[in-house]
Amino acid sequence: MSVLRSAVTAAAGLALSLTSSALAGAGVSISSYGQRALLIQGGGQSVLLNPYKAVGCAAGLPEPRLTAGVVLANSELSDEGARDVAGGRFLAQPGSYRIGGLSLEGFANPHDRVGGRRFGNATLWRWQQGGLSFAHLGATAGELTAADRVLLANPDVLIIGVGGGSKIYDAEESAAVVNQLNPKRVIPVQYVTGDAPEGCDQEGVQPFLDAMGGTAVRRVGRSQTLPGKLDDTTVITVMQ
């Protein structure tokens, strides 16, 4: 009986391991909130990027009052990383974290083009989820160093701010980063649609698409699903 029980226990453990492995590589679903915040679900985990208050360049947008396992912010500025908008483990400081099966690496990069003297540092993020590697550069304007490029490597999915202004990459800068990192999917964020709110120094996504001329573009609406393995060709997916 003890041998049978051991065999059953081992089989159950193997099944659980196989299920977990399959889940970890099964891909992700991504939902967009106002071209600024993204919710990534997959691999049994949920990650919310850059929740915001409806101020500044996010004025007039519905605030993403969600709950996720992890909330990753590039900064704690109200329109790109508001701490009290969404529920979940909030991370905005550089470091190595392990939360709910996710391993997340955050490292500092100047938030502006003057070495952080105006807006301090942003935190860039790297992690794996659903079989895909992610890099989150949604809110920064700092030039990447050689060390940054090594840390970010060649992510499967790159989330990058493209709207320009004083603390977000402009079209040419973000296109240069894409070419440096050579991701398989690019999701542009931190841009405006229609007229910019009063006092907002960002522009729309089209200048970035123009700067990436020749790269495939897919307009996917408010949500998209990515499989756990992507083709090597770079594709830009524009979300609403």
The domain in which residue 75 lies consists of 25-239
From 43, 28, 67, select the one nearest 51 (Cα to Cα).
67
Residue 24 has pLDDT above 70, yes or no: no
β-strand partners of 223: 31
Residue 19 has pLDDT above 50, yes or no: no
Q: Does residue 95 lie within any of the structural domains?
A: yes
pLDDT value of position 23: 52
Q: Does residue 14 lie within any of the structural domains?
A: no
The answer to whether 157 touches 135, Cβ cutoff 8 Å, is: yes
Question: What pLDDT band is residue 11 in, cutting at 50, 70 and 90?
Answer: very low
DSSP 15-37: HHHHHHHHHHTS-EEEEEETTTE
Q: Does residue 96 lie within any of the structural domains?
A: yes
CA atoms within 13 A on the CB side of 16: 6
pLDDT digits (tens, 9 = 90+) for 74-91: 999 998 899 999 999 999
Question: What pLDDT band is residue 5 in, cutting at 50, 70 and 90?
Answer: very low
Q: Give the chain's domain count.
A: 1
pLDDT value of position 34: 83
Q: Does residue 5 lie within any of the structural domains?
A: no
Q: For residue 204, what is the domain's CATH number?
A: 3.60.15.10
